[in-house]
Amino acid sequence: MPFQTYTVAESTQPVTLGGIKIIPDYTFANAPTPKIVVIPAQAGQTEAMLNWIHKATKTTDVTMSVCTGAFVLASTGLLAGKPATTHHSSYKSLAIQFPDITVQRGARFVESGNMATSGGLTSGIDLALHVVERYFGRKVAEDTAYLLEYQGTGWTDPASNATYLQAAASTSEHPLCPVCGMEVVPRPR
């Protein structure tokens, strides 16, 4: 395998995520020095997690977030003054919570130095394929996409998320929350 993948957490106790149980390989205290850090979409963060990400990023080739993992990465302070993206439903929230980040709407992924953020779930696949291309070239990335039966080509064009470039407009038929921009669904009476 061209990449040695491993999971890192505060402890090696099992973590349940959406019904899936993950047993971390390492703790923040004993993890090997990574070349790539991937921060998935997740709820919650700890100071220990943020400190580990901050410290590890000093020597990574790339520290990347997928979807709303951008909020965790932003919480480290490493995205301050940089462009970033996240899931299209969270553009506004990211901009409000972290006004020192330039939120890039309509991007599959955004790179700035050794930092990279991707939009929603499949945008993370595109960023991962882009990283494969960076290490091993276009042919290996194409072969990897083929092996995965992934037919998306967003990894070759980070600006290919233009569908989400403009904010959705609130209408009486589809009202949007003025704070988060998500559709307001009336509660049944």
* 118: CATH: 3.40.50.880
What value does the CA radius of gyration of the chain take, rounded to a whole number of Å? 18
Whether 94 maps to a domain, the answer reads yes
Tell me which of 23 and 174 has the higher pLDDT: 23
pLDDT tens digits, 9-67: 999 999 888 789 999 999 999 999 999 999 999 888 999 999 999 999 999 999 999 99
Structurally, the chain folds into a number of domains equal to: 1
| pLDDT number for residue 108 | 93
Whether 147 maps to a domain, the answer reads yes
Whether 177 maps to a domain, the answer reads no
pLDDT at 184 over 80: no
| pLDDT number for residue 182 | 63
Show the domain range for 52.
33-164
| pLDDT number for residue 47 | 95
Question: Checking DSSP bridges between strand 36-39 and strand 26-27, what pairing results, if any?
Answer: unpaired
pLDDT at 179 over 80: no
Residues 67 and 166: their CA atoms lie apart, in Å, by 18
Mean pLDDT computed over 76-84? 97
pLDDT tens digits, 112-167: 999 999 999 899 999 999 999 999 999 999 999 999 999 888 888 778 877 777 77
| pLDDT number for residue 186 | 65
Whether 107 maps to a domain, the answer reads yes
Whether 141 maps to a domain, the answer reads yes
CA quadruple 112, 114, 119, 124: dihedral positive or negative? positive
Residues 57 and 156: their CA atoms lie apart, in Å, by 25
Whether 157 maps to a domain, the answer reads yes
| pLDDT number for residue 16 | 86
Whether 74 maps to a domain, the answer reads yes
Residues 39 and 34: their CA atoms lie apart, in Å, by 13
Contact 43, 68 (CB under 8 A): no
Whether 1 maps to a domain, the answer reads no
